[in-house]
Amino acid sequence: MSREAYLLWGNHGSTFGIGEIAFTVISSLSERYSVRPTKTIRPGKLNIIIDEFSNPHFVTHFLKTKIESPATKYVIVATEFITPISIFGIELGRTFNFFGAADDWRRLLRDELLRGKNRLPSYLHQRYIGFMSAISACDVLVFVHAAIGNELRDAMKAFPNLVSPPTVIYPEFFMPLAELEHQLNTRPIGFNLTGTLTRYRQRTMKRLVRTFQRAGWNYPIWKHSGFDDSKPIEFTNQSIRFNYGYEGNDGYLFNINPPQQDAWPFSSPMRILRAALLGQIPVITKKFKDHAIEDISLWWDHRVDTALKIQFYAMDRRQLLAQYLGSIEQYNLLARRKNQEFLNALARLES
């Protein structure tokens, strides 16, 4: 019999941007837990909270509920990278997703100039502050990318309330792969790019177009779609519905995933997952080798011969699809094995 858990979404205001993370949580628990949505914390229950602690009043409520109802159990899903802010090797502090780009320094300067002027810090730093406060009441801490865990390895020393060391969770493809095969067989050749169209991504796609033109391709080869163009997840009072099978019907065969910027240091497993769930083949432009789900992706290397090979798939893509679906099966075996650590942590929590 499945145990009951509640996935909190009210702290996000909407389900925008959390579909793949919710899928990762639910798929990793699917064999043992029935996960239901909740807009508010459920006292005395197992609550799973996807990191969004930017509102200090929510953080206060989160901490107070644990004190007033000690049987309340918290799993926090960390989604952002804890990064140092350093100048000449001297660490000035820490925050989320500070990679030394110009925008990162502008946000830092703004925070310093406006400190104490009835202004909140920048959004990501406010989230970081709330996240670090919330860990003090957390029971199980998990993260969606192994690199996030690099700064959380010693968390049990600072937060003895944790029942086990923080661990990474992996999305599992629990739908029959045959459901993907029809879409993959009928999609036209081309690339969808989802998310923010940064300058680096624009340059990458212009280079892709030139490469295909050199290979004799004279048709549209890519299309940009914002995340707000689709609604892959819906929460009702009692259930969570994923709409990936309907959202991706009009897309190309490939879904390309360039980093936001040239110096971006990590892979984007949630974007790879989204592409696969939409019934497309994920394509990466850099190999980071930091997450197993990268292995289901194709690598776009900007070579004319690669463009010619992709054009050939308009005639015969049987071998491509066999390799792709086989890679998902292999990935699933690894994901289930890795997720055992999460399940073991929950077993200790509930014993």
Residue 13's pLDDT is 76
C-alpha 335/C-alpha 172 separation (Å) is: 6
Residue 118's pLDDT is 67
Residue 1's pLDDT is 60
R_g (Cα) of the chain, nearest Å: 21
Q: How many CB atoms lie within 10 A of CB 124?
A: 18
The verdict on 223 and 326 lying in the same domain is yes
Q: Does 95 score more than 80 pLDDT?
A: yes
The verdict on 138 and 123 lying in the same domain is yes
The verdict on 244 and 275 lying in the same domain is yes
pLDDT digits (tens, 9 = 90+) for 111-149: 766 666 667 778 888 999 999 999 999 999 999 999 998
Q: With contact defined as beta carbons under 8 Å apart, do 120 and 111 qualify?
A: no
Residue 228's pLDDT is 61
Q: Tell me the average pLDDT of the chain.
A: 89
Q: With contact defined as beta carbons under 8 Å apart, do 268 and 66 qualify?
A: no
Q: With contact defined as beta carbons under 8 Å apart, do 126 and 60 qualify?
A: no
The verdict on 37 and 114 lying in the same domain is yes
pLDDT digits (tens, 9 = 90+) for 305-314: 999 999 999 9
C-alpha 268/C-alpha 128 separation (Å) is: 20
The verdict on 158 and 195 lying in the same domain is no
The verdict on 161 and 220 lying in the same domain is no
As given in the structure block, the two tokens for residue 170 are: 């992996």
The verdict on 168 and 225 lying in the same domain is no
pLDDT (mean) for 199-206: 95
CATH number at residue 226: 3.40.50
The verdict on 127 and 193 lying in the same domain is no
Q: Which of 154-168, 232-246, 324-338 has the highest mean pLDDT?
A: 324-338
**Helices marked H in 71-222:** 102-113, 123-134, 155-158, 178-186, 199-214
| Domain of 189, in residue numbers | 178-333
Number of helices (H), then strands (E), in the chain: 12, 15
Residue 185: is it exposed, middle or buried by C-beta count within 10 angstroms (0-12/13-18/19+)? Answer: exposed
The verdict on 70 and 127 lying in the same domain is yes
How many domains are contained in the chain?
2
The verdict on 167 and 36 lying in the same domain is yes
Residue 162: is it exposed, middle or buried by C-beta count within 10 angstroms (0-12/13-18/19+)? Answer: buried
Q: What is the dihedral of CA 83, 84, 88, 92, to 10 degrees?
A: 150
Q: Does 230 score more than 70 pLDDT?
A: no
Percent of the chain at pLDDT exceeding 90: 64
C-alpha 144/C-alpha 146 separation (Å) is: 7
Q: How is residue 139 annotated by DSSP?
A: S
Residue 5's pLDDT band (boundaries 50, 70, 90)?
very high
The verdict on 168 and 267 lying in the same domain is no
The verdict on 23 and 155 lying in the same domain is yes
Residues 6 or more apart whose CB falls under 8 angstroms from that of 112 comprise none
pLDDT digits (tens, 9 = 90+) for 282-296: 999 999 999 999 999
| Predicted structure pTM score | 0.90
